[in-house]
């Protein structure tokens, strides 16, 4: 699960990196939206899971 959190953080860095070149490539906008569509809810779920284990 910690590896999943790390992968989600890497996706944020990737999305931030491709943001300046979205206009040049048509598929990047869809990829950018896809990253932000699923990574925030999944990150919240994983973080909540770890918070529950520590209590």
- Whether this prediction's pTM lies above 0.85 is answered by no
Question: Rounded to whole angstroms, how far apart are CA atoms 26 and 6?
Answer: 28
**Sequence ranges of the domains in the chain:** 2-54
Which pLDDT does position 55 carry in this prediction?
A: 58
Q: What is the mean pLDDT of residues 19-37?
A: 89
Q: Would you state the pLDDT for residue 18? A: 92
Q: Is there a contact between 30 and 50 (Cβ–Cβ < 8 Å)?
A: no
Query: Hey, CA dihedral for 43, 48, 53, 55, is it positive or negative?
Result: positive
């Amino acid at each position: 699960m910690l590896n999943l959190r790390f992968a989600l953080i890497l996706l944020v860095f990737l999305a931030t990196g491709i943001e300046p070149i979205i206009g040049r490539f048509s598929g990047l906008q869809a990829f950018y939206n896809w990253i932000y569509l699923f990574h925030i809810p999944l990150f919240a779920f994983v973080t909540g899971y770890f918070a529950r284990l520590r209590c």
